[in-house]
């Protein structure tokens, strides 16, 4: 069996609610869905996460040709040819995101060929339910509006919730955390994500001011290029530091671990190099004693891949969920997601359990 075609289908959805983060905002969500077809007519779906238009241009321009004729069942050969076969090595960025999408689709194909869920190919089912957190509280001018949104999520039975701050100074955003904590109560785990928007100095101020709110973790406080500064900040802060959604491949995470820059690693399967690269990162993190909570904030295809990885990997913890209705999410799943008491039940369809129907393309597809 050989790869005969690689396509990128862009899906786009207009937001129904504001999504403001420290470094800006957006009013549409765009997903780069990768469809790999074999000469036997079997197809698989993956997703490159990042700049969707750039990912499409990379695959359409050259990477799709590199994949042509390869065996989708040979994951290491796919990885070698797409990422490490060129004279000038691509170490980070959209090229790795594009390769991630193709590699993910090959796992989907393999599961379909063997008629097993992808988690069976990753070592078998380690857990059949995943503890979750919801990442769907965004910065707003009115702190009470943010608190009302958090209350909506609490009513759904979730006990761990992440809010995005950093559009204003640590002093100004303290009132927002206060409103969120008052609404959440002490029984709810409250996370804060700064999306790399603060300077090291602002982060230290935030750490001192916000420590009293008993935060579960502080995510990506600094620009991801500032590894030394992040390590210094972690050494001086009492807060648990999570980061990694903007890091690439195994060596990028080894740098974070060697610098002791983070407490929780957050690789994104659609960015780091695919499912196998994410597995390697999980194994490396375990050797450092660092838990892995994969970044999972895109379409239902990334969601499915993340569920399968976590279902088979002991060193993973806390599945990120998007409850905003702003992504093309459960429409892409073969079976509806089963969630009860904040736990997601692991599905058992062959492959990743995703499908791209003509109706989805008609409704969300863009040129």
Could you tell me if 186 and 202 lie in one domain?
Answer: yes
- Chain centroid to Cα 261, Å, comes to 19
Whether residues 275 and 184 fall in one domain:
yes
Tell whether 350 is covered by a domain.
no
Per-residue pLDDT tens digits for 105-121 = 999 999 999 999 999 99
The upper half-sphere exposure of residue 210, i.e. CA atoms within 13 Å in the direction of its Cβ, equals 33
Question: 319 and 295, same structural domain?
Answer: yes
| 199 lies in some domain | yes
CATH code of residue 166? 3.20.20.120
For residues 108 and 157, membership in a common domain is answered with: no
- Give Cα 313 distance to the centre of its chain: 16
Q: How many domains does the chain have?
A: 2
Does 90 lie in the same domain as 126?
A: no
Answer yes or no: do 83 and 157 share one domain.
no
Q: Is residue 284, in this structure, part of any structural domain at all?
A: yes
Tell me the three-class secondary structure of 182-251, residue by residue: HHHCCCCEEEEECCCCCCHHHHHHHHHHHHHHCCCEEECCCCCCCHHHHHHHHHHCCCCEEECCCCCHHH
81: tokens are 């040819």
Closest CA to 264 of 280, 288, 237, 248: 288
pLDDT given for residue 26 in this prediction: 81
Same domain, 57 and 156: no
Task: Let me know whether 166 and 247 are in one domain.
Answer: yes
**Residue 179 and residue 112 in one domain:** no
Domain assignment of residue 107, yes or no: yes
Q: Tell me, yes or no, whether 72 lies in a domain.
A: yes
Residues 126 and 109 in one domain: no
282 in the same domain as 238: yes
Q: What pLDDT sits at residue 87?
A: 66
Tell me if 86 is assigned to some domain.
yes
Contact 151, 179 (CB under 8 A): no
User: Which residue ranges in the chain fall short of pLDDT 70?
Assistant: 87
CATH number, domain with residue 60: 3.30.390.10
- pLDDT for res 35: 98
Q: Is the residue at 99 inside a domain?
A: yes
**Is residue 242 situated within a structural domain?**
yes
DSSP per-residue letters across 1-43? --EEEEEEEEEEEE-SS--EETTEE-SEEEEEEEEEEETTS-E
**Domain housing 336:** 121-345
Q: What is the pLDDT of residue 63?
A: 97
Asked if residue 182 and residue 129 are part of one domain, the reply reads: yes
State the Cα torsion 228-232-238-243 to the nearest 10°: 0
């Amino acid at each position: 069996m050989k790869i005969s075609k690689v396509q990128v289908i862009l899906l786009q959805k207009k937001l129904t609610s504001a999504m403001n983060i420290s470094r800006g905002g957006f009013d549409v969500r765009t997903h780069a869905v990768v469809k790999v077809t074999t000469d036997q007519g079997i197809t698989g779906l993956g997703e490159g996460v990042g700049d969707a238009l750039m990912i499409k241009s990379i695959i359409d321009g050259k990477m799709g040709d590199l994949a042509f004729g390869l065996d989708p069942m040979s994951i290491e050969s796919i990885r070698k040819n797409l990422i490490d076969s060129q004279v000038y090595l691509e170490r980070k960025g959209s090229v790795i995101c594009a390769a991630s999408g193709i590699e993910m689709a090959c796992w989907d194909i393999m599961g379909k060929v063997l008629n097993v869920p992808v988690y069976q190919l990753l070592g078998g089912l380690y857990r059949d339910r995943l503890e979750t957190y919801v990442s769907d509280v965004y910065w707003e001018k009115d702190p009470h509006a943010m608190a009302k949104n958090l209350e909506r999520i609490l009513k759904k039975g979730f006990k761990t919730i992440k809010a995005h701050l950093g559009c204003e100074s640590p002093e100004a955003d303290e009132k927002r955390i206060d409103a969120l904590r008052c609404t959440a109560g002490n029984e709810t785990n409250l996370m804060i994500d700064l999306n790399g928007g603060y300077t090291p100095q602002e982060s230290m101020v935030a750490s001192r001011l916000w420590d009293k709110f008993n935060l579960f973790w502080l995510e990506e406080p600094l620009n991801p290029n500032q590894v030394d500064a992040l390590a210094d900040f972690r050494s001086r802060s009492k807060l648990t530091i999570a980061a990694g959604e903007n890091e690439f491949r195994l060596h990028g995470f080894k740098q974070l671990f060697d610098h002791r820059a983070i407490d929780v690693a957050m690789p994104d399967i659609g960015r780091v190099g695919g499912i196998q690269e994410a597995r390697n990162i999980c194994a490396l993190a375990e050797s450092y004693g660092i838990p892995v909570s994969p970044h999972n904030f895109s379409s239902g295809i990334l969601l499915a891949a993340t569920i399968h990885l976590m279902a088979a990997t002991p060193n993973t913890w806390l599945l990120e969920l998007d409850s905003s209705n702003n992504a093309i999410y459960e429409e892409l799943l073969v079976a509806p997601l089963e969630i009860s008491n904040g736990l997601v039940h692991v599905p058992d369809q062959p492959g990743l359990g995703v499908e791209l129907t003509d109706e989805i393309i008609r409704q969300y597809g863009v040129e």
